[in-house]
Chains A and B, each alone.
Chain A
Amino acid sequence: MHLRSRLIADTLLGLTLTLLLQAPASTVAQDHPESFDELTAGASSAREQGDIPRAIELYQQATQLNPKWPDGWWYLGSLQYGVNAYAPAIEALTHYIELTPDAGPARALRGLCEFEVGQYPQSLQDLQQGIALGAANQPRNAGIVLYHEALLLTRLGRFEEALGKYAVMVRHGTINEDVTNGIGLSGLRMPILPKDIDPSQAQLIAMVGRAAATFMSGDLTGAHQAFEEIFARFPTTPNVHYLYAYLLFPADPDQAIGQFQKELTISPASALVHAMLAWAFGMQGDYRIALSDAQKAFAEDPSLSMAQLVLGRDLMETGDIRGALPHLEAVVTTEPQNLEAHIALAKAYSELGRRDDAGRERLLCLALSGHGTAADANM
């Protein structure tokens, strides 16, 4: 295990325990009554007494005897995980999942094992499927599962998604050094895992992570101070103003715009920053100003979806709907789930009187957008 913090270790233990308690009632096939019954009884008493090596051995024998016994694979896999025997744990959990395909916690646990042995793409897939099947519904499990998902997203350069996961964790009170370092990595847009941090950058990463976590926890004044300290100490480091702007944007677009502009003095040719600045201006209704930043973003990196999205949106809002369409259509081709692109397309088709296309896009938007809270308050 590469985990340093006790908290994470505790959470891990919590996960394993909860998983164990949640294990389904056994559906034992009775092919080899005596020996099998003896093995299972021995295994569970060894497990209860904390004799893990013995329990593992007996579960191994029992599953050899009856490979269709899901509980056996489950106990075997989770006990092996508990003693860092990740490769055999993966094998055991794979048997369990074959017998019980919609087992969310088992998928998540296999994802954690895969993470430890460096099978990152499989790990992310398993963690996400596990979450979809409810593995993160319990706050205790949510911490460890989301943490690893966020690490893997960061590794793939999906920083904003990772920050979203961290924000959920922070809101649930899961803040520790591992988490803040993870936030630091995604905030600084470094597509690496914590184990690969260059020691010369460790302090910067830690400071950025703590500042962002402070913001996520709702302490905006504290976060402001923390960010100012970073700006003073690392005045030319890219992405910090961007991160602060990104966090500020939902509640204070004006201040966010100021921070995006500061980022541009450090990273003047960043397509992403120009695109986000265009987005922020657009959300304020200043589409004309937005358009010039969107054009810069697109010129800097035509393959960036965000650049295509803002350019399409800003062209549409400033009246060039036909010019907007190819950009918006390009975004939904590469990212069929991009809600903002579908929203913009619905409006563009609607302006052009393409009723059927607009109607289809609107239905897609309804399907893609989540169910928020009731809109029954005066806002």
Chain B
Amino acid sequence: MRICRVLLVSLLSCICMSAERGQETVTCARCHQKQASTQPGTQMGHAMQVPGDNDTLRAHPELTFRREQYTYTVKTQNGQTQYIVSDGTHSISIPVVWSMGAQAQTWLLDHNGRMYESLVSYYPSIEGLALTVGDDRLEPKTLEEAIGRPLLEEGVTTCFGCHASNAVIGHKLNLTSLKPGLTCEHCHVDAGAHLASIAQGDWTVFPPELKDLSSEDISNFCGQCHRTWELVVRAGWRGTSNVRFQPYRLAISKCFDGADPRISCIACHDPHQKVVRGASFYDSKCLACHSPAMSAAAPHAKVCSVAKVNCASCHMPKVPFPGGHFVFTDHDIRIVKPNEPYPY
């Protein structure tokens, strides 16, 4: 199959490329129009933003928040943003360069060579600032401490590693090669070599085919950033704050079968598209196993006696994240019993 498609595409693009050779750099979009036209607009594509390209801050040019004696102002003008902390008499003003998060945003701040995670973040649900998740326990005593949580080198590196691309090379942070957000190469590791060799007329180098990975492997692949089952177990993270770790939640669901592609992350989500909101979209995914027609292919999967549509609305409940500014979808697909405690 691959050979035929390769031949066809290569024929077509050879024609285009020879016509334009030397005038334009070849990009993925040339041959993978479908993915390239939508992926940059996804949340993952925007997982990190830089000055001038931050719609959220542009739409909210002045944000303020007060906690005890400290006042926070996030001011945006001509595409440049300042994060200002004041205790009434003194203030510290730091330019915002690194914004993490597509909608909710937390800022990484460089103050005198030290990196901080901003103490306040922007939350779409309140259209304003509130304490950064997990920082309610911080009790700043000085203006510097009030900037936010100081990050160790390791924390800075992993932060960029998940929210940006080409930022971590050989386990070390490299801010010059960094590209904001998730680009194609972040997930398709050998795509650079693939592109370069095609430009040389060599059609034998392709990135590994992710769609052929088992469900277990895809969970671990997405889990590099969304956190794997293994990591959450090892860390002992229990309670509703682990609802954001979908690979972990899905693995503990009775539906999960690491060798069955119908329960893979990519059976329900196309990572090149915005996540589809609304339960009905996912019905066909459930029914791929839970329907009488499928009883041979999924012998343990039973049919619902309660409803025939909107399966996820009952079996994948929305769980408010501690702190109250987000809601996540529980991927521990199950019969939800009234008043049952949150499992694991």
Instruction: Judge if A51 is at the interface, Cβ distance under 8 Å.
Output: no
Q: A355-B257, A372-B237, A376-B323 are in contact. Are A284 and B100 (CB under 8 A)?
A: no
User: Which one of B216, B235, B300 lies within 8 Å of A375 (CB-CB)?
Assistant: B235
Instruction: Judge if A352 is at the interface, Cβ distance under 8 Å.
Output: yes
Nearest chain B residue, comparing its CB with the CB of A339:
B234
Q: Count the A-B residue pairs with Cβ separation under 8 angstroms: how many?
A: 89
Instruction: Judge if A288 is at the interface, Cβ distance under 8 Å.
Output: no
Instruction: Judge if A24 is at the interface, Cβ distance under 8 Å.
Output: no
User: Which one of A252, A351, A372, A376 lies within 8 Å of B216 (CB-CB)?
Assistant: A351
Q: Are B133 and A254 in contact (CB under 8 A)?
A: no
Q: Which of A33-41, A145-153, A293-301, A358-366 is near enough to bind chain B?
A: A358-366
CB within 8 Å of A: which B252-270 residues: 252, 254, 256-260
Q: Are B258 and A347 in contact (CB under 8 A)?
A: yes
Q: Are B236 and A369 in contact (CB under 8 A)?
A: yes
Q: A353-B257, A353-B258 are in contact. Are A347 and B216 (CB under 8 A)?
A: yes
Q: Are A375 and B214 in contact (CB under 8 A)?
A: no
Q: A251-B154, A362-B229 are in contact. Are A350 and B216 (CB under 8 A)?
A: yes
> How distant is the Cα of A238 from the Cα of B1 in the complex, in angstroms?
56
Contacts of B55 in A (CB 8 A): none
Q: Are A379 and B238 in contact (CB under 8 A)?
A: no
Instruction: Judge if B239 is at the interface, Cβ distance under 8 Å.
Output: yes
> How distant is the Cα of A229 from the Cα of B233 in the complex, in angstroms?
39
Q: Are B237 and A374 in contact (CB under 8 A)?
A: yes
Q: How many B residues touch A, CB cutoff 8 Å?
A: 44
Q: How near does chain B come to A310, taking the closest CB pair, in angstroms?
A: 15
User: Which one of B117, B227, B230, B234 lies within 8 Å of A347 (CB-CB)?
Assistant: B230
Instruction: Judge if B114 is at the interface, Cβ distance under 8 Å.
Output: no
Instruction: Judge if A378 is at the interface, Cβ distance under 8 Å.
Output: yes
CB within 8 Å of B: which A195-230 residues: none
Instruction: Judge if B322 is at the interface, Cβ distance under 8 Å.
Output: yes
> How distant is the Cα of A353 from the Cα of B233 in the complex, in angstroms?
21
> How distant is the Cα of A359 from the Cα of B250 in the complex, in angstroms?
12
A-contact 0/1 string along B134-153, CB 8 Å cutoff:
11000000000000010000
Q: Are B134 and A378 in contact (CB under 8 A)?
A: yes
Nearest chain B residue, comparing its CB with the CB of A352:
B259
Q: A362-B251, A377-B135 are in contact. List 12 more A-B contacts (CB 8 A).
A: A253-B171, A343-B230, A351-B259, A366-B344, A369-B236, A371-B236, A372-B238, A374-B239, A376-B133, A376-B322, A376-B323, A378-B134
Interface positions of A (Cβ within 8 A of B): 251-254, 284, 339, 343, 346-347, 349-353, 355, 358-359, 362, 365-366, 369-379
Interface positions of B (Cβ within 8 A of A): 100, 106, 117, 132-135, 149, 154-155, 158-159, 171, 214, 216-217, 227, 229-230, 232-239, 241-242, 244-245, 251-252, 254, 256-260, 300, 321-323, 344
27 A-B pairs with C-beta separation under 8 A: A253-B171, A343-B233, A343-B234, A350-B257, A352-B258, A353-B259, A355-B257, A365-B233, A369-B233, A371-B236, A372-B235, A373-B237, A374-B134, A374-B237, A374-B241, A374-B322, A375-B227, A375-B241, A375-B242, A375-B245, A376-B133, A376-B241, A376-B322, A377-B133, A377-B149, A378-B132, A379-B155
